[in-house]
Amino acid sequence: MLEEFEGYSEGRMRIKCRTIVRGAGDGETLVTRQAINFLTMVDLKTGVVNDDRHELYKQNIANKVLVFPNSIGSSVGAYSIYALKINNVAPKAIVCGKADIATASGCAIANIPLVDSPESNVFAIKSGSTVKVDAVNGLIEIAEK
């Protein structure tokens, strides 16, 4: 449920979710309703989405809070997420509708906070919004725009 909680910043909304990889990350969101294949759709040296059929085409996932439904492709996607981290172009945190094994494994080896199964529609969050992912307590905090 999208609601305001005590103990966090005023004027911010919070969504409960499930923690997959513990940690915390905050920053500007990059939101898509399309699945991502990290191996073939993202330049692992720059973090730029290079698939012209994807709605995030030419956008950079580096240092963003990436919100997407799930990844597609093979298990090599996990190593692609790790490569993004090694190249300093990984997202600060990831929010999935339903995390898959490649995303979960990649975030685990790259130490990228990951949450999924949000209680509210995270795809209603606009790209460019400021959010904080608390992947210890299973919460997403959204600043009002």
In what order do the strands lie in the sheet containing 2-3? 2-3, 12-16, 139-143, 130-134, 24-31, 65-68, 93-96, 114-116, 18-21
Q: Are 106 and 80 in contact (CB under 8 A)?
A: yes
Tokens 């966090």, residue?
A: 8
With left for phi above 0 and alpha for psi between -120 and 50, is residue 104 left, alpha or beta?
alpha
Q: Which residues does 87 contact at the CB level (< 8 Å), separation at least 6?
A: 44, 45, 46, 47
Distance (Å, rounded) from C-alpha 23 to C-alpha 112?
7
To the query of whether residue 74 is one of the catalytic residues in this protein, the response is yes
CA distance 120 to 111: 25
Catalytic residue among 74, 75, 120, 129: 74
- Active centre residues (catalytic): 74
